[in-house]
Structure 1
Amino acid sequence: MIVNERETPEGLLVAVCDEDVLGETFETEEISLTVTEEFYGGDGADEGAVVDSLARADVANIVGREAVELAIAEGFIDEANVLEVGSTLHAQLLRM
């Protein structure tokens, strides 16, 4: 997986994606999602590093089956809130 962390005025923004979705575009009739290098590109990360980043995130965008399923398994995302976009999964986390 790939993790990109950046500080914003709203807090820590974490973008996580599976390596194989970086640079891809996924679509449904209502949604088009492009996993850009600019937003999602970052460092390769194992599951522990992804969990650590998500635990510290104020906002997170997560794309890819492996990344989203890890976020669900670790309790960051409720499965009912996951979007299936084309052949991949997408979820967002907002801590208030």
Structure 2
Amino acid sequence: MYLKIHRSGDNTIVAVCDEELIGRTLKEGNIVVTITEEFYKGEIVSESEVKDAISQSSNVNIFGEKAVSCAIECGAVNSSCVKIIDGVAHAQIFRI
């Protein structure tokens, strides 16, 4: 999986996605999302590194079955809150 951390001042956004999704555009109804290299392609990391990053972050954007499963396994995402877009699992986390 790819993990990329974006920092701007006090704000941090963590982007996680399954490797095979980079560059793919998902379309479903009015939703169109492109999983860009610029936003998602960081370092290839292990499941434990993904879980650590997700657990410690307040703003996370996740695409892919493996990546979303990590978020569910570490208790950050409830499986009923996962959105499927064009057959791909997606979850977002916003902690206040």
Structure 2-normalised TM-score?
Answer: 0.93
- 1:36-55 equivalences under 5 Å are 36-55=36-55
Whether the aligned pair in 2 keeps the contact of 1:11 and 1:58 (CA below 8 Å) is no
Once superposed, which parts of structure 1, at least 4 consecutive aligned residues long, lie more than 3 Å away? none
Q: CA deviation at 1:93?
A: 0.3
Structure 2 matches for 1:19-38, cutoff 5 A?
19-38=19-38
Partner of 1:83: 83
Q: CA RMSD in A?
A: 1.1
1:59-70 aligned within 5 A: 59-70=59-70
Q: How many residues align?
A: 96
Unaligned stretches of 5+ residues in structure 1? none
Q: How many angstroms apart in 1 are the aligned matches of 2:61 and 2:9?
A: 17
TM score, norm. by length of structure 1 = 0.93
Residues 26-78 of structure 1, C-alpha deviation per residue, up to 9 Å, x if partnerless? 11112111100011010000001101111221200000011011111211111
When structure 1 is superposed on structure 2, of 8-17 and 61-70 the one drifting more is 8-17
